Amino acid sequence: MSYNVSVEVFEGPMDLLLNLIDKNEIDIYDIPINTVTDQFVSQLRKWEDMNLEVASDFIIMAATLIEIKSKMLLPKEIVLVDGEEVHLDPREELVMRLIEYKLYKDISESLKSSEDVYSKVYYKPQEDVSDFRDPFEELNAVQLMDLVDTLQNILQRHRYDNPQENFFEIRREEVSLEECTRDIEDQVKINGKIKFSDIITAQASRSRIIAYFLSLLELMRTRFIYVRQNDSFSDLIIEMRGI
Amino acid sequence: MDKREIKSIIEGLLFTFGEPIDCNEVAKVLGIPNKEVLSILLEMKDEFDFNRRGIRIIRFNNSFQLGTRPEHHEWIKQIVQGRNTRSLSNAALETLSIVAYKQPVTKADIDHIRGVKSDRSLETLIGRRLAKEVGKLDKPGKPNLYGTTDEFLRYFGLESLKELPPIDDFRIEEIEEE
């Protein structure tokens, strides 16, 4: 034995309301508020009977409909616009909202058909040219004096020339996840494909490595990157996620 | 360098780069003025179409990319299995329509038009890089403003936002229906 369950899906209260208007072939500018309110509320009841939780948005709309219904019973409010008397229709605001919603719903259907066409296009991923680069290219321009200068800089920074200052305060390293996430994002954006070991320098503290790893998980979750590993314990390869 | 050679180089660049490449970038590589490169690229695009090549040059904003023709999907899909083409949900498409036509727009505006919370769909759209934050509204709470991306143009086969059908086209349709 099989069950056939069919439940109409509505994107929200506006969608349901439009559906009722279509079904009853109603002029959107002259909605019979009684009929529509009754049908709207009975739809919500039906969902409740099916043990479906009715979202609060639908209940707000039901309340709005009932409010309009009660206002319709009162004498129409009259305001002066440019010296002329105009009868305020309590339905007006709702009608405007419905028309606007319908507009975007129609647009979304036209986008849907473009999507159907253009999802059938195939693109080629970027060529990996890293194999063709000379790994020593960067070193070609380095002169002996550059090395000497660099060494001096390092020595100065570590103050080996002044033993008196050879004392350091050991601070707890603060590693922020945001910083690591941004770092990975930037590197992936620039290089397209990176290894986890590229990010982690040899001096990186344990907490920094953990922070990077957490950032990696976060970026996988937000579908910015995907990560693969060819063998157990081998390097993680991080790639920017194509759409 | 004659034009034929330039076109030939550009084709190679587009092939190797794969991803959308900015016209300025091509101009820099070739050492030719931007304007010239743009007109050559547009000419190439027409030639590819005219000769019914299986590869098309796709343009959006100032970027160009090689891609297949959608009408060849039927054949191509037979050799590339398991491609993940999740199409967007109706909720996401509704949200995206509002973002596209009302940008820059706040989430509150989107929620108001749709009559439901749009957090989830907005998240999906940002995750798929079809929409992004484009700034903050100078009002209390500084709400984020959202707009569409270049990826949005590519996804829907548009060259620029100007190619979106004017919003009044949809309004006219409504009047005709009545």
For the stretch B102-155, pLDDT in tens is: 989 999 999 999 988 889 999 999 998 999 999 888 888 889 999 999 889 989
Q: Report residues of chain A scoring pLDDT below 70.
A: 1-8, 138, 158-168, 243
- Please answer yes or no on whether B156 and A115 come within 8 Å at the CB atom: yes
Q: How far is CA B12 from CA B24, B26, B35, B54, B69, in A?
A: 16, 11, 20, 16, 19
**What's the CATH code, domain B90-177?**
1.10.10.10
Min Cα separation A2/chain B (Å): 28
pLDDT at residue B40, rounded to an integer: 93
For A242, the closest chain B residue by CA position comes to B128
Residues of A in contact with B132 (CB under 8 A): none
Structure confidence at residue A193 (pLDDT): 86
Q: Are B70 and A118 an interchain contact pair (Cβ–Cβ within 8 Å)?
A: yes
In which residue are the tokens 């007006």 written?
A92
- Looking at residue B178, its pLDDT comes to 43
In the predicted structure, residue B24 carries a pLDDT above the cut 80? yes
Q: Which residue has the higher pLDDT, A175 or B34?
A: B34
Condensed to tens digits (0 to 9), the pLDDT of residues A137-182 reads 767 777 888 888 888 888 777 665 555 556 667 777 778 888 888 8
- CB contacts of A101 in chain B (<8 Å) are 113-115
Using a CB–CB cutoff of 8 Å, tell me whether B157 touches chain A: yes
Domain B3-74 coded CATH 1.10.10.10: yes
Domains of chain A by start residue, with CATH: 13-118 (no CATH), 175-243 (1.10.10.580)
- Stronger pLDDT, A80 or B53, i.e. the higher one: B53
Helix spans in chain A (H): 13-23, 33-49, 56-73, 92-118, 144-158, 177-191, 196-199, 206-221
**ipTM beyond 0.90?**
no
Interface contact B132, partner A, CB < 8 A: no
Q: Within chain B, which residue ranges are assigned CATH 1.10.10.10?
A: 3-74, 90-177
Of B18, B56, B72, nearest to A125 by CB-CB distance is B18
Chain B residue closest in CA terms to A27: B178
- Contact state of A126 with B18 under an 8 Å Cβ cutoff: yes
Distance CA B76, CA B79 (A): 6
